[in-house]
């Protein structure tokens, strides 16, 4: 189906739903007229029903307390659930049949809207959302189409951005107090981590690796995994203590670049062959400090690679505490 047909069908679905009383507090009758018309509808509402949210694409007026929330990425799903909001729609990370991340609870009633990379506009429109939350990096190409369905707010992706994104998600859903509490609890957990391990955090170099189909990616500060490590005060090997990119890639010729006192692996199950047959079988792998000292650990990729939310960060703290204690 072409984008034009998809957009037309999305607009038609929303119009039909509203005609039978399945809409929300916003006037969606101009769903095909674009963001300017939607904002005009919002401005005609009584004072106090909306707020303006600054986000990665500019500013958007949204309902103060939206009931029907659709999220387009796993970090937003993680965060809004932590804030006490169950969205009406959310995507799978890779394939629809895989469902939502297994570490998330309370997803049973959520409609699957496709995948993070390819959300289904017709399904989103059929849910008559009050607001849509997505990622600029992933969804910018369909932003205009999304705004014709409902007010749309985009966040950025990046190393330390998960913390700012939680605040944006809280502002959109009217859960600012809940977000403040979550961040305060996180700070306490980080303090406890440092109190427990003391100088070990400053002296133990942790290598963060994602096995892939034809290489190994080493994750750096600008990425989610590396950004969380920086937030927690985790020491990185000198070669990995960088902020010039999300990651860099290593093949069997550069295995020495993977070294650390501790190695944490967080690759998808379908992408393990290269690591198992090219990296681990190499004599160079056996020379690494973490390998010689039996300090190579595997972590849940849904959390470490794709979590991007406050619940994932807390689970990563659990893992760090477990791995460092061994």
CA end-to-end span of the chain? 53
Q: Rg of the chain over CA atoms, in angstroms?
A: 22
**Range scoring the smallest mean pLDDT among 234-238, 244-248, 249-253:** 244-248
Percent of the chain with pLDDT strictly greater than 90: 81
Give the chain's mean pLDDT.
87
27 band by pLDDT with thresholds 50, 70 and 90: very low
Based on the number of CB atoms within 10 Å of its own CB, is 321 exposed (0-12), middle (13-18) or buried (19 or more)? middle
pLDDT of residue 158: 72
Separation CA 55–CA 215 (nearest Å)? 35
Q: Break the chain down into helix, strand, coil percent, rounded to 5.
A: 45, 15, 35
pLDDT of residue 120: 97
Q: Are 90 and 308 in contact (CB under 8 A)?
A: no
CA 196 to chain centre: 29
Write the pLDDT tens digit of every residue in 262-272. 999 999 999 99
Domains of the chain: 3-174 (3.40.50.1980), 185-325 (3.40.50.1980)
- Whether the per-residue pLDDT at 37 is higher than 60: the answer is no
Rounded to 5 degrees, φ, ψ at 156 are -95, 165
């Amino acid at each position: 189906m072409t984008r034009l047909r998809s957009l037309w069908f999305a607009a038609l679905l929303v119009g039909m739903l509203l005609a039978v009383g399945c809409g929300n507090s916003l006037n969606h009758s101009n769903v095909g007229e674009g963001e300017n018309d939607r904002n005009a509808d919002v401005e005609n509402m009584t004072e106090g029903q909306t707020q303006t949210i600054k986000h990665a694409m500019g500013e958007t007026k949204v309902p103060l307390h939206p009931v029907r929330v659709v999220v387009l990425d796993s970090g937003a799903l993680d965060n809004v659930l932590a804030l006490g909001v169950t969205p009406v729609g959310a995507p799978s990370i890779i394939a629809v049949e895989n469902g939502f991340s297994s570490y998330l609870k309370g997803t049973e009633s959520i409609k699957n809207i496709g995948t993070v990379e390819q959300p289904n506009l017709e399904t989103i429109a059929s849910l008559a959302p009050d607001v849509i939350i997505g990622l600029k990096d992933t969804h910018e190409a369909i932003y205009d189409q999304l705004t014709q369905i409902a007010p749309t707010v985009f966040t950025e992706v990046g190393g330390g951005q998960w913390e700012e994104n939680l605040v944006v998600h809280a502002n959109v859903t009217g859960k600012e107090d809940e977000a403040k509490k979550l961040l305060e609890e996180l700070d306490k957990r980080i303090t406890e981590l440092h109190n427990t391990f003391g100088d070990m955090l400053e002296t133990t170099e942790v290598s963060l690796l994602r096995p892939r189909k034809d290489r190994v990616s080493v994750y750096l500060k600008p990425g989610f995994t590396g950004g969380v490590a920086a937030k927690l005060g985790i020491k990185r090997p000198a070669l990995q203590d960088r902020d010039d990119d999300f990651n860099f890639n290593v093949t069997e010729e550069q295995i020495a670049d993977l070294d650390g006192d501790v190695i944490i692996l967080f690759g998808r199950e379908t992408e393990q062959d290269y690591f198992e047959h090219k990296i681990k079988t190499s004599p160079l792998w056996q020379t690494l400090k973490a390998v010689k000292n039996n300090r190579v650990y595997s972590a849940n990729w849904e959390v470490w690679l794709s979590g991007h939310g406050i619940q994932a960060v807390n689970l990563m703290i659990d893992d760090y505490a477990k791995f460092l204690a061994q």
